[in-house]
Amino acid sequence: MSQHSSSKQITNQDLLAMKARGEKITSLTAYDASFAHILDHAGIEMVLVGDSLGMVVQGQTSTVPVTVDEMVYHSRLVSRGLKRALLVTDLPFMSYPNPDLAVQNAGILMQQGHAHMVKLEGGQKILDSVHHIVNQGIPVCGHLGLLPQSVNQLGGYRVQGKDEAQASSLINDAISLEQAGASAIVVECIPATLAKKITDSVAIPIIGIGAGVQCDGQVLVSYDMLDITLGKRPKFSKNFIQDAGNISDAVKAYVNAVKQQQFPAAEHSF
């Protein structure tokens, strides 16, 4: 169990310190107070209110239809179930087309959704927005690799960064996001070797999902790791409730597996 299992509120500075000393960061999604309470109690450091709620809660075919108001609603619910975990909330599709709107909507997620940090997808084209948000005192988490909000442009849910040019571009994006003031970055569906290079290239925590075991931490959609997802569970996820018997024990097993570097294993990586 992490030394943060006390009730002290975890900050982005704590996550930086965890990276520096090589302690793995654990993260899962939550969309309501009850789930949030279970994750918080089990020792999760970072709870993500993901726009994945569009698919796993609302039954949409992508994250694109999710609105800022819906993110605020779910973020506020989750905040009521947390005492110590850092609450990160997604800025949804088209809520940050320019720096001014990005700042405005990030502010709404902080004020009304009680988020501690906001997450937005992309590299070079969002750097101005990241810079503006950070300048307002709002911590930012980046998101590189597979970008669910851009799935129509990417041509589906595919592994990113497989060729050298793409890989190099993603490393540069991570460095640029750090320079723009990002506090952490999620990398999704990229080769494990590339994820390690990105992790080694920046001082801020790299949180992987389908990105191998050598990231600074791991995140999964909680519904996937509890095997209650509509449709097919992604290759990079693992069913943790199978051997656990209840949700709380499944989350504790996940925390332990990430801390011990037993998850993700080779079969969950690209």
Coil, strand, or helix at residue 165? helix
Cβ atoms of 141 and 122 within 8 Å: the answer is no
Architecture of domain 3-268: Alpha-Beta Barrel (3.20)
The residue ranges of DSSP E strands in 95-251, in sequence order, are: 117-119, 140-145, 184-188, 206-209, 217-220
List the chain pLDDT tens, one digit each, 270 residues.
Answer: 444 446 799 999 999 999 999 999 999 999 999 999 999 999 999 999 999 999 999 999 999 999 999 999 999 999 999 999 999 999 999 999 999 999 999 999 999 999 999 999 999 999 999 999 999 999 999 999 999 999 888 877 899 999 999 999 999 999 999 999 999 999 999 999 999 999 999 999 999 999 999 999 999 999 999 999 887 889 999 999 999 989 999 999 999 999 999 999 999 999
Task: Give the pLDDT of residue 7.
Answer: 77
User: Alpha-carbon distance 86 to 78, whole Å?
Assistant: 11
Task: Give the pLDDT of residue 231.
Answer: 79
User: Alpha-carbon distance 190 to 207, whole Å?
Assistant: 12
Name the residue ranges covered by the structural domains of the chain: 3-268
Task: Give the pLDDT of residue 39.
Answer: 98
Cβ atoms of 79 and 87 within 8 Å: the answer is yes
Task: Give the pLDDT of residue 6.
Answer: 62
Whose tokens are 């107070």? That residue is 33
User: Residue type for 43, please?
Assistant: G
Task: Give the pLDDT of residue 27.
Answer: 98
Task: Give the pLDDT of residue 38.
Answer: 98
* Among 23, 45, 121, 188, the one annotated catalytic: 188
- 23 as an active site residue: the answer is no
Task: Give the pLDDT of residue 156.
Answer: 79
